[in-house]
């Protein structure tokens, strides 16, 4: 899945821009994914990866996972179950709120804006930065 813009104008409180089930050997590069509605569960993440059985060789890099709602329980990224990454780096995980904000759930561990860099999987070059999009359907930046 390469070079896509996904999201905007969701109408349900359990929305996910991308919901991935039991997938191996995927390259997920250069995508912008946004959820703009306050969701009722952390599993209603911008990208939800369902891995109750092993998922192997996921290569996730250079993406923007943007939870735009100012309330709700959703996260920019949620992964359940054991998974192996060939890469999980150079991504932007963003959710507004008072720091530290919960950003990533990886197989039982929640990472915040204060501890996600270098924590868990391979994300030592990732950031949490507001991209200031023009709107939820216009993924170009205002600055």
pLDDT in tens, 15-60: 788 888 777 888 999 999 988 888 888 888 899 888 666 678 889 9
Q: With beta carbons less than 8 A apart as the criterion, state whether 46 and 34 touch.
A: yes
Bridging pattern class, strands 133-135 and 92-94: unpaired
State the average pLDDT over residues 65-87.
Answer: 86
How much is the pLDDT for 58? Answer: 86
pLDDT in tens, 84-120: 788 889 999 999 988 889 999 988 889 998 888 876 6
Q: With beta carbons less than 8 A apart as the criterion, state whether 8 and 136 touch.
A: yes
pTM: 0.87
How much is the pLDDT for 103? Answer: 92
Look up tokens 């993924």; give the residue. 139
- Cα(16)–Cα(84) distance, integer angstroms: 22
Torsion of CA 133, 16, 97, 112, to 10 degrees: -120
- Of the two residues 68 and 139, the one the predictor is more confident about is 68
């Amino acid at each position: 899945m390469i070079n896509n813009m996904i999201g905007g104008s969701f109408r349900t409180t359990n929305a996910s821009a991308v919901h991935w089930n039991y997938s191996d050997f995927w390259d997920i590069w250069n995508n912008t994914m946004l959820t703009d509605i306050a969701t009722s569960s952390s599993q209603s993440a911008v990208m939800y990866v369902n891995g109750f059985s092993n998922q192997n060789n996921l290569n996730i890099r250079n993406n923007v996972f943007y939870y735009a709602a100012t309330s709700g329980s959703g996260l920019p990224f949620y992964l359940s179950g054991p998974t192996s990454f060939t890469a999980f780096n150079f991504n932007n995980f963003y959710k507004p709120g008072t720091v530290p904000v919960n950003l990533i759930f990886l197989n039982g561990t929640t990472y915040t804006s204060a501890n996600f860099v270098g924590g868990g999987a391979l994300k030592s070059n990732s950031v949490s930065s507001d991209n200031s999009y023009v709107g939820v359907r216009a993924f170009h930046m205002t600055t």
